[in-house]
Structures are given as structure tokens and as C-alpha cells.
Amino acid sequence: MKKSLISASQFFFIIFVSITSLTFFSVPSQLIAKVKQDLWLSMALGAIIDIYVAVLLYRLGRMYAGQSLIQYTRSILGKAGKVVGLIFLLFFLCVMVTAMWIYSDFLSRTLMPETPRLVFSISMTICAGLAAVKGIEAIARLSQIIGFIILLTSVVLFTSSIPYIQLQFLLPPFENGMLPAIQGAIYPGSWFGICIMMGMLMPHIKKQSGILKMKVYAVVLGTSVMTLYLLYSIVVMGPVMAGHFENPIYILSRITQFLIFERIEVLLLLIFISGSFITISTLYYAVTEGTAQWLGTKSHKPWVYVFGIIFILSPMFPYSNESYMVDRYLSYWFPLVSLIIEGGFMTFLFIWAVVKSKVSRSSS
């Protein structure tokens, strides 16, 4: 099978779109209510965590050129690598199910209250599944278009809502000390860290040397845009109002005007829905290809169908309507587990690989 290749700038847009759309759907509810005006620090720390993971992934990817995350985990750790690889795959799966759940829950609560959640998950799974079957090249090309649209509308939205802002809402800085902001970093940190799918994409990128630079640019740009969105929702509505809502950015888009147009939330949602489509299809591709590599099957396509059923059912998972469980999961268990996997496992893997290469060099 011909290996599909993407360029570095396409990779840039995949990461950028993933970060913005994941932040749009999952971070605001936890971050704004808890950290309020200091959230820029949390976002910056989240970006730093992600860049750290990216450096590890890049070094590992260069060490084991042409291998994906799942493949070199096996090369580094041997038999135990199979288990670690499985954990990575399960993590991808869990992220996707969570992202899909948040996405369909949000849409059914705001945009189309009477539509069952399954409709959103089915339509998204079909689209993302088709993209995943077509391979990473198709996804990458789409991400260029969507990434550009996200950038453009964000800039226009920011400039056109300048009359609404009241900068004094950002004061006082660090009202309750630095601690809440630092603790808050786990939310963006854990969601951005999904970019360990970079480990799955690396073998597909044409020019290996520029990857790290592109990744850092994408993370910095994506975080800046989303930090602006979050801060805008605070300076327009005030921290009290913004802290009450599940998704303040959505409310922001309902309050502000876009040039002469009022009520532009549908436009904003459209953009971020297409952004989610890129994220979900990239993850979909990563998880199916990872599974294929893990089990040694030739093609990733059968797995698209297998996992599709899980994704379609993701809004139906048990406890998904018990807000107590959901809150515990989103604000505690998910960040904890994903930070352990993204930060802890990757560091461990990297150190192991360095030691192993040193040992093999000294022995030879």
C-alpha cells in the first residue's frame, strides 16, 4: 500500500484546528468558572506542557524514524510495549468518546434542543469515518481550509466586538493567589495533550526536520486564539456572568455583533463543528491505524467500522446524564488520567529509549 504523506504546513493546520476546537468544546466550562481572569496563565502552562510532550515525541520519532507511536513503543519496551501501546490506544478511544459526548451534548442543549444526541454522533461518525477511510491526506487538506476559516472569523469577531469590551473585568490579577491558575492548567494541558496523536502522524510527514517547529507554532497560535476567545467572553460579560454558563464563548457570540449582523452563534458553531470534524477524524484515523499496527493487520479500514459503532453510541454511555458523575469525570478523572499518560508515560518512554540506545552503543 502506498503510504500517504502530508506536508509540514498541513500538519500545522491539523494541530491548530484540533487545539482550537477541543478548547472550544471542552475547556471553557471548567476553566472560566474556576480560574476566571487569570486563565491566560493556565492556558500558557497548558501550552508549555504540550510543547514539552511534543519535544519528547519529536525526539522519539526521529530516533525511530518511520515508526509510529504504537510501533516504537514496542521497539523500545519489547513485550511490555504491547501493553503500553494498548493503553495509548485505549486512551485515544476514551478521548474520542469523551470529545464526541461533549460535542453532541453541547449541540443538543444549545442549537437543536429537540434533536436526539444520537443524530449528532451518527452524522459525525459517518463523516469522520469516511475521512478516516480515505486516509490522512484527505483530512490534512481539509484542515488547511477549515483552519484558515477559523483564523479569519476569529480575527473578524475579535475586532468587531471591541466596542463591547470592558478591560477592567480582567482586574484584579491573581485574586486568590497563583494556585488556582496553576491548578487550572491541567484542563487545557490535558486536552492539548491529545496532540500525542502527533506520534501517529509523524511517519506520514514529508520533511521530518521542521515538525517540531511547526508543532510549536501551531500550539502557540491555537492557544493564543483560544485564550483570546476565553478572555473576550470575560471582558464582554464580566466574570460572574461568564462563570455561570457551560460555554461562555457561545454566549459571547450571541451577545456581540458581527459587523451589522446580530446573533452570529450559528456561524461560530458551524466553524467549530467543522473544526471538531477535523479533530475527530484525525483521532479516528490515529486510533484505527494504531489498532491495525498493534494487531499487525494489513489495513486500518476494517477498524473504522468496528470503532464507528462505539463512537456512535458514545452519547449513550451509562451515567452520561448524571451530572454528578460527569462533573467528577471531566474535572478530575479525565485530566488526571490524560496527564499521567501524556506526561508520565511519554517521559518514561523517552528516558527508557535514551538509556537503551546508550547501553546498546556502549555494548557494541
Q: Which residues bind another protein (CB under 8 A)?
A: 109-116, 119, 126, 166, 168, 171-172, 175, 237-238, 240-241, 244, 251, 254-255, 262-263, 301-302, 305
Q: Which residue has the cell 483560544?
A: 226
> Rounded to the nearest whole angstrom, what is the least distance from the CB of residue 289 to another protein in the complex?
17
Cα separation of 287 and 90, whole Å?
9
Q: Which is nearer to another protein, 168 or 360 (CB)?
A: 168
Q: Which is nearer to another protein, 38 or 342 (CB)?
A: 38
Q: Which is nearer to another protein, 8 or 138 (CB)?
A: 138
Q: Which three cell numbers stand for residue 20?
A: 482550537
> Rounded to the nearest whole angstrom, what is the least distance from the CB of residue 241 to another protein in the complex?
4
| Cβ(303)–Cβ(311) below 8 Å | no
Strand partners, 6: 205
Q: Which is nearer to another protein, 262 or 327 (CB)?
A: 262
Q: Which is nearer to another protein, 113 or 318 (CB)?
A: 113
Instruction: Using the Cα atoms of residue 197, residue 202, residue 207 and residue 211 in order, give the sign of their dihedral.
Output: positive
> Rounded to the nearest whole angstrom, what is the least distance from the CB of residue 172 to another protein in the complex?
4
Q: Which three cell numbers stand for residue 115?
A: 434533536
Cα separation of 93 and 24, whole Å?
20
> Rounded to the nearest whole angstrom, what is the least distance from the CB of residue 243 to another protein in the complex?
9
Q: Which of 199, 221, 216, 182 is nearest to 341 (CA)?
A: 199
Cα separation of 270 and 41, whole Å?
28
> Rounded to the nearest whole angstrom, what is the least distance from the CB of residue 24 to another protein in the complex?
17
- The residue type at 344: G
